[in-house]
Amino acid sequence: MKAPSVPPADVVTAGWWDATREHRLAVQRCAECSGVQHPPRSLCIHCGRTDTLRFDTAAGTGVVDSFTVVYRSPVPDTDVPYVIARVRLDEGVICLTRLENAEPDAWRIGDRVAVDWVDLDDGRALPVFVPAPR
Amino acid sequence: MNGTGVAIVGAAESDLGVTDQPILGLQTQAITRALDDAGLALRDVDGLATTGISRFSATQLADWLGIQPKWTDSTFAGGSAYEMYVARAAQAIRAGQAETVLVSFASNQRSARSRSLGGVVEAHTPEAQFETPYAPLYPLSYYAMAAQRYLHEFGATREQLAEIAVAAREWALLNPKAFRYGAGPLTVEDVLAAPMISSPLTTADCCLVTDGGGAVVLTSSERARDLRKTPVEVLGYGERTTNTSMTAVDNLTLTGAVGSSADALARAGLSISDIDVIEVYDSFTITVALTLEALGVCGRGEALDFIQDGRIRPGGQLPLNTNGGGLSYCHPGQYGVLLLVEAVRQLRGECGPRQVAGARTALAHGTGGILSTHATVILGVDR
């Protein structure tokens, strides 16, 4: 996909976006209860603590929970079709993303995927997913 | 059958379809017609519940109507808000805070061309950073992913899903107010051949985009007995709020309608098999399949088998979305208020060729956002 416009990070999400500058996919984890969550928040939705959250580097692999091939984009001048998906990371959280590097109609629920990166103009990068190497 | 002690005593639609009216013009039509239906006047109204007008929706409406209500609610929950308003209005009336409450909604989204494929994204929300950059259609792509997952998980077919749109059209052909009244029947082949927007859903799996609105009037059951029409008792209500993001809910095919309908039925002292007419928000065909299962009409993964053979068409065993639904009757954006209007009319026996004979109980279930909010109301008449 072409680099989209993405709002700036804020103090809660800065650590997650900073990791993307090094093409690392981060997952927020609670040091107290080990719960993971996405997107980043300022409290742990599993135990309620606010002072125990940190960013772990995820393995960058997961499985397609579901997907849809979009034929009419809400964004002008966007090439269609493209594939929107929910990917369940091996760490357990679900991310919204694009599936790339395969024919849109070839994707199946349950496919293994690996992270890839779309570099943004400001140095950050947006994670997308591609077929996992066999 | 338990009552809450509160009844719906008036119900009406505004003009529907393409109206060239402003939002408050359509609100006025719905409100004055619902009050006429009840035999009440604006001066009797001391409670207002509405949204979709402006940032201060109920306040704006009070100003427009020239009244100073004792109670208002502008809970913003998308299409389920109107079922939530019935619950809150019933509580306010029981608590003595208000005597007569108007619940209303209207939109001119077709005339005003105000609907966008990507929805409304607020830049300060997590979704703006973590979802919108990928350009999902909002809400369609979420429902499309739910449909994809449903077909995968339960081995159902795309053709079976189309039956929901086909049946809605059959009902609309019996409703002169329906946008697709006179459009002729829809076939499974038509649904599959319609332009694909967000797979596996085609344009024919998606609700209409029309103008329209509605209003219902609530008061105590005791006062309702002295009014013009057969009181429609509020028997039960329940709700669940689950997500704004496309990633928070772990299982796409299991919705908050499970809890909201269980609470509503328990409060009414009824089971789903006691319900004569079901009106559920059909934003998309898949919404209906998921909701029917959540209501307990059939088991998980069974909805598409269950509805074949005309079961949800006119004359079938399960009268569903009897006005033609958001798919073929009217969809002004937050359709939930029109579910209530149709349920009331069915229970009063006012529905002409689409009337469900002898209907004494009805269930209205609203769904808002991306399967985000869920609210159920159970209604009944003594006759």
Helices B81-94 and B336-348: crossing angle in degrees, nearest 10, is: 70
Q: Does this model's pTM top 0.90? A: yes
- Residue A2 counted as domain residue: no
Contact A86 B252 (CB under 8 A): yes
- The percent of residues above 70 in pLDDT, for chain B, comes to 100
- CA–chain centroid gap for B13, Å, is 13
- Residue A49 counted as domain residue: yes
- Residue A5 counted as domain residue: no
Torsion B268-B269-B271-B273 (CA) sign = negative
**Residue A96 touches partner B, C-beta closer than 8 Å:** yes
- Report which residue type is found at B234: V
- Residue A104 counted as domain residue: yes
Contact B145 A85 (CB under 8 A): yes
Residues in chain A with CB shorter than 8 Å from the CB of B196 are 69, 71
Chain A CA closest to residue B148? A66
Tokens (6 digits) for A30: 């609670």
Q: Do residues B291 and B280 touch, judged by C-beta distance below 8 A?
A: yes
Tokens (6 digits) for A6: 């993405």
* pLDDT class of B383 with cuts at 50, 70, 90: confident
Query: What stretch of H or E contains B85?
Result: helix B81-94
Average pLDDT, chain B: 97
The answer, yes or no, to whether ipTM is higher than 0.90 is yes
Domains of chain B by range and CATH? 6-112+208-380 (3.40.47.10)
State yes or no: pLDDT of B2 exceeds 90.
no
pLDDT digits 0-9 by tens, B300-356:
999 999 999 999 999 999 999 999 999 999 999 999 999 999 999 999 999 999 999
Residues in chain B with CB shorter than 8 Å from the CB of A39 are 126, 129-130, 245, 247
* Nearest-CA distance A103 → chain B (Å): 14
What are the backbone angles phi and psi of residue B129, rounded to the nearest 5°?
Answer: -85, -35
pLDDT digits 0-9 by tens, B97-127:
999 999 999 999 999 998 889 888 899 999 9
B329 is a catalytic site residue: yes
- Number of domains comprising chain A: 1
**Distance between CA B115 and CA B99 in Å, rounded?**
36
- Residue A45 counted as domain residue: yes
- Residue A65 counted as domain residue: yes
* pLDDT class of B1 with cuts at 50, 70, 90: low
- Residue A3 counted as domain residue: no
Option in A40, A94, A97 nearest B134 (CB): A97
Give pLDDT, residue B140.
Answer: 97
Return the residue matching tokens 């069915």. B346
pLDDT digits 0-9 by tens, A22-81:
999 999 999 999 999 999 999 999 999 999 999 999 999 999 999 999 999 999 989 999
Q: Do residues B294 and B255 touch, judged by C-beta distance below 8 A?
A: yes
Look up the domain containing A104 and give its range: 14-131
- Residue A55 counted as domain residue: yes
* pLDDT class of A134 with cuts at 50, 70, 90: confident
**Distance between CA A122 and CA A124 in Å, rounded?**
6
- The residue from B142, B143, B281, B335 that is catalytic is B281
Give pLDDT, residue B41.
Answer: 97
